[in-house]
Amino acid sequence: MAVHISFFSPYDRGGASSFLPQAPRVSEAIATAVASTQTTATAKRGEYARIEATDACYVLAGQNPTVTATTGFLVGTGKTEYIGPLAEGDEIAVLDA
């Protein structure tokens, strides 16, 4: 099972930000497990994370996050979710659902 995570800046339309993602600055695939696993990539201030789950998982963003079924939010199988805006250095943690 894997989760694909991309960090990107929102599209800027002359001062009005839109939620349309730009090309990602960095992307990585994380194998989900029964223990919380974090991205090695970190966010830049104001970026968003796009999370694409091949299987259901719990997700949490933050500085050195540890996700559980009660602290994270559920991303369903085959679903895509967005988190943000993120703080400088935020990581994404994932856990099997």
Q: Residue-wise pLDDT tens for the chain (97 aa)? A: 789 999 998 876 665 555 666 789 999 999 888 999 999 999 999 999 999 999 999 999 999 999 999 999 999 999 999 999 999 999 999 999 9
Using DSSP's 3-state secondary structure scheme, residue 97 falls into coil
Q: Alpha helices, DSSP H only, in the chain?
A: none
The answer to whether the CB of 58 falls within 8 A of the CB of 74 is: yes
Distance CA 80, CA 24 (A): 15
Q: How many CB atoms within 10 Å of residue 35?
A: 10
pTM: 0.88
Q: How many CB atoms within 10 Å of residue 43?
A: 24
Biggest CA-to-CA distance, the chain: 44
